Structure 1
């Protein structure tokens, strides 16, 4: 009697080789694994060169050699670098559009004509008793009287003045774009290899240095527009300080996690070069105290944003208090990115305030008075 429970001898089957010419053979082919870029890792699965923050435990992209897959994983998947990439990526596009508007032909002097005309009238009335003093110290009433009969000349003068003053925004806008672009590239492509991590990290640090120096140069341009000699001294000071910092950025140990506090302190010291010339300008220009105070307040607000971001960055707060809870959202590096965007906005507002002040009041060095 046959036993229904007797073991069945194993049968050896030859592997099925799919034939590309037969469409139904695709069913028998081995399933394609998901792209490695789609699989997120924990920090314990990462190679040593990718470990930077032990408080972020998951949502890491694996190392990749394919730039296409790195690009896809960076911009079209959710991971612990997504917010870092998109905050500065969107910030780059925003400040690019704003820079084109402020520095391009779209910003004309038309909207300033009525305001300047009112200022001219007020100055002409207020200088009946002391017109010689105003003509010597300001020059604006003389311009108004000479060109009050010709709106076209006023328009041309204002256009020339605006073009001259907009040049002062160029370092701020350019360095902001470089910083945001370098940061986006770093967070998107650093997983390629240890060499890419080192080179892109150096580029990221260089962008931060450019950003701070560009802010200082724009502030100096407007604060000492009427005192070009002092401005040149401050330009040289900023350039020398930056030149001294750049070699440290390319040091092999500068990008290591252990150097995080040193990097932060170094960048904070460099950022102080923005506030120093504005405080000096307030001391020199008592007549423009309000506008310079607004600019200095904006610079101080920008520095405060950078300092707050630096505190988050160094302390690794809040993930240090809630380990593994901020792998994707609200991590310290993400908060620092947002603080940088606010800092750039504050500083741009301060420089624009000084630009409008110079357009209205000018000085003997202004091109407004050379027509």
Structure 2
């Protein structure tokens, strides 16, 4: 097991534990959860699919340590990141009689982590929570850093708060239950970490570590640890995304617009949107003369080799003006002015503000938008 510390000036430090068997071994993950509790009771929030696979082991392990666990489930899928399901989770907290000394445990992927984290931040003006991410995407990205949110029809993650977890348990073994598509989607966020600030890591992902995209446990373990270290360093410097943390959104300005335009349809997962968005960000950077065409081609080749989309037509048909309007409503936009995370090269991302919409429109038309 490897422990990665996450600390910053504005929040209490916590650990991200990465290893195999953390969930099933009562002396591992459940013991660490029990040690943090002020009283022996938790509410586990999960989705219906994950709950059937992993909740029994976690509940049993907690019971070994004298902890009573109740379970609240939501339907699997992005649609659960909504006001309606947030209200249901909050009502379940009240029904279970949780008070400020109790803990919420998010058991699931990014949707569950975001939803449960936001519920924890709101319930009684804030209770502690623990992340137990069960997807690769959640282990390397959404479970670390305290971002919690729900979606609205006008955009992804528009309603949320920063609420840091007390602990993150990233069990590599649970990734064996992931469908191949979901594993590849998580790999997109791993690739992104190399692209923003670690060219050597990206080279490893495209070479010796490439087997992680297909489920190789050793490669996955190393990829998760290295990704979490990168994210922990960035979050520690900039918790509220006032500066450097925005780099973690490489690929997301394009990707979120695509997801919203599709209505969060499962035709494009979040990870697939990020992968495509990263490729588009590098091609746009090359078009603007910020990086070499060869860098954009290299990013596209490694992404395609991992089984992820690299071209707009793979996601669907889009109107350029619609995508630009959605980008103008992105959280990084200021006064409607377009902001992108672009690249000077692999491992050298930067925030670029005030991007000309005409340049974006010309690029999208060249990419195949109408």
TM-score of the superposition, structure 1-length normalised?
A: 0.25
TM-score of the superposition, structure 2-length normalised?
A: 0.25
Bigger-Rg structure (1/2): 1
Query: RCO greater where, 1 or 2, for CA within 8 Å and sep 6 or more?
Result: 1
* Structure showing the higher strand proportion among its residues: 2
* Structure showing the higher helix proportion among its residues: 1
